[in-house]
Amino acid sequence: MRTFQFSDAKSHKFWSIEVTGTSFTVTYGKVGTAGQTSTKSFPTPEKAQAEADKLIREKTGKGYVEMTPKAPASDEEALERAVIANPHDLAARSAYADFLTEKGDSRGEFIRMQLALEDPSLSSAERKKFAAKEKDLMAQHKLGDWAKAVPEVTENNWDRAENNDPTGGKSLIFQGGLLTTINIGRLSVPVARALFRAGPETRFVHNLFVGGLAYDDEEEEGTDEDAPAEPGIPPIPEGVENPAQHLLVRWPQLRFIRRFIWGWPADPTDEYPSCHMNGDLVYDFVKQMPDVEELRISAHVREPVANKLFALKMPRLRVFQLDHGWSFPYEKLVAQPLPFLEEISSHPHGLEHGDKPYLTIKQLKAICAADLPRLRLLRLRNSTVGDAGAKELVSSGKLKTLKVLDLRNGCLSDAGAKLLADCPDFQNLQFFEVANNALTKAGIKLLEATGVKIEAKGQHTQTTFDPEDGENEFLWAGDAE
């Protein structure tokens, strides 16, 4: 059976065909569903195969990409596949390094040097020696011309988050001797096209960061959506805003991404996360990442997109962060098994006039009721969970495992503080962020007496959401705009 996939901003479909004797069976539908099937019969096996080949040519002509697993053509390809399938497996990477070294390829030694430098027990003298060797080997590792189109990440790329920069200022990062990370400060059409040109040179990439999107009028002349088509690079849909993201969403390497950051992520202590990123295609990106482990989104994600994003099956998920969205249906996310989930983090967009709160006790109850054995960080800012949330956290037992609890910009009062302070499990926390809530000095004192590190500056007096109050200041206080 041969299987193909098609992805764009509007759909993510599969199509497969299996020829058996004088007939073939076609299965098609949305990725993630069982799809529909149809079978056709022909006079001879040759006629069945010819018609199947004709359908395949039609599908690939429309932009479908074949996903059928193929047997490795060589030992090298088999080792590469093992590394791609298990990017955190040092044994697979070491075996690949051994193979390259035996055939006289300097990449083998480069992998060994970088793996050695990751060892925290390395002495300073050895580290200096290995670092010098690493520099020499790095100079020998030449990437294609496509790499020149991916600029270094600087403040000129976008409003760079100085305290939580995930890039180190580098656009292309080698880890363990392999190109594993691509960081894009500001995505433009030329940069997106460069990634398509890279071809197999990006086969080991599993970390992708996009800080911002170039405006249409910032695209370089001759490289916008009207530029001539190039082999292997999909066309850009007509009339779309931020065309670069509509191109990148078709990048085949997305299916191997494990760590995806869209928009500058907030520093845990940052009062105002960045809120300038378009989030319309977030779901379309993530649905192509079946093994995603770390998801950090700082973008304007609206309710229809959020509903689909939170419902995605993400069995390997460790980190889920969504900032500056308008909807947070956590009940959809935690309905699936999440045995590895360590962090849940959200800082909603400032409440729009006339809207209801975006984070409420409903979402917290769903989180508290879910089986999340590894959850260590829970960050629900700009919310109305308040005292009811304190009661839910205590009764659910979630405080037994949590290490960081962040309820900044909320309505927790002294009554809720007492519930938390009286719970022995509260002392398991290493940090409790409760700035801009409804605590008095007495409530803050109760929390501080537990010995847990507390941040409780800037309290107010509003203990509930008031639909008649056009301000509800605590729900937009964390929005710089």
- Give the residue-averaged pLDDT of 378-385: 95
Matching residue, tokens 């298990």? 86
pLDDT at residue 480, as a whole number: 57
Here the tokens at position 417 are: 């503080």
- Give the residue-averaged pLDDT of 277-303: 94
Partners of residue 400 on adjacent β-strands:
none
Q: For residue 446, how many other CB atoms are within 10 A of its CB?
A: 18
One DSSP character per residue, 274-290 reads: ----B-TTHHHHHTT-T
Give 235's DSSP letter: P
Beta strands 2-7 and 431-433 are: unpaired
Render pLDDT for 143-171 as a digit per residue (tens, 0 to 9). Answer: 889 999 998 876 555 455 444 566 777 89
d(CA 66, CA 252): 10
Phi/psi at 353 (5° precision) = -60, 125
Res 9 pLDDT > 60: no
* Residues 255-293 as b or e (16 or more Cβ within 10 Å = b): ebbbbbbbbbbbeeebbebbbbbbbbbbbbbbbbbbebb
Task: For CA atoms 408, 371, 257, 32, give the dihedral sign.
Answer: negative
Weakest-pLDDT range from 5-9, 78-82, 299-303, 321-325: 5-9
pLDDT at residue 6, as a whole number: 83
Res 464 pLDDT > 50: yes
Res 356 pLDDT > 90: no
Task: For CA atoms 452, 273, 381, 314, give the dihedral sign.
Answer: negative
Give 29's DSSP letter: E
Render pLDDT for 64-121 as a digit per residue (tens, 0 to 9). Answer: 888 776 666 688 888 988 999 999 898 999 999 999 999 988 888 888 888 888 888 8
Contact 115, 177 (CB under 8 A): yes
Helix (H) or strand (E) holding 431: strand 431-433
d(CA 375, CA 9): 32
Task: For CA atoms 242, 248, 254, 259, give the dihedral sign.
Answer: negative
Q: State the alpha helices, DSSP H only, in 27-123.
A: 45-61, 75-85, 90-102, 106-117
Give 473's DSSP letter: G
Matching residue, tokens 């910009």? 409
Partners of residue 379 on adjacent β-strands:
345, 406
Give strand ranges (E) for 328-406: 343-347, 377-380, 404-406
d(CA 447, CA 201): 53
Phi/psi at 247 (5° precision) = -85, -45
Render pLDDT for 184-234 as a digit per residue (tens, 0 to 9). Answer: 988 999 999 999 999 899 999 999 999 988 875 455 444 444 555 677 788
134 by DSSP, 3-state: which? helix
pLDDT at residue 221, as a whole number: 44
* pTM over 0.75, yes/no: yes
d(CA 91, CA 204): 16
Render pLDDT for 404-423 as a digit per residue (tens, 0 to 9). Answer: 999 999 999 999 999 999 99
